[in-house]
Amino acid sequence: MWVTSLMNPIGTLKRMVENSDRSTQALSEIVALQGDGSEASNQKLDMLIDGVRNQSRLLNDKLEELILGLGNQSRIINEKLQEVIIGLDNQSKLIATKLEMLIAGTENQTQLLNDKLDKAIERLDRRPGG
């Protein structure tokens, strides 16, 4: 459960807010039913309800901050990802260009070797007794 809450902080905060809201509602219903209760007990319940409401507001604020932070983080990651994609594309083009140059160089070497081989064969064919 602890690991799950670390991996999904928004879900955890939402559950905490929902629980806080349910607690506030339940306490409000208790106060309404305790209409004939003592003034001190009503004050304590009112203070408890106010505390839970404050906690709920704080949790909502933290949840909004977390959502904004995740939105910013997502935007930055997307920007960086785009830069990585552009970098990989440039690198791929460079590798392709170098490979084409290597192929062209190899073709030239092959042609030179073939020419030399042809000349060597011609010389051998021209030799007497060859």
25-70: per-residue pLDDT in tens? 777 777 666 655 677 777 777 888 788 888 888 888 888 888 888 8
pTM over 0.85: no
Q: Is the CB of residue 10 less than 8 Å from the CB of residue 66?
A: yes
> What sign for the dihedral angle of Cα 90, 96, 102, 107?
negative
Instruction: Report how far residue 126's alpha carbon sits from residue 91's, in angstroms, rounded to the nearest whole number.
Output: 52
pLDDT in tens, 63-114: 888 888 888 999 999 999 999 999 999 999 999 999 999 999 999 999 999 9
Domain containing residue 7: 2-126
Q: Which residue in this structure is represented by tokens 């084409």? A: 100
For the chain, the domain total comes to 1
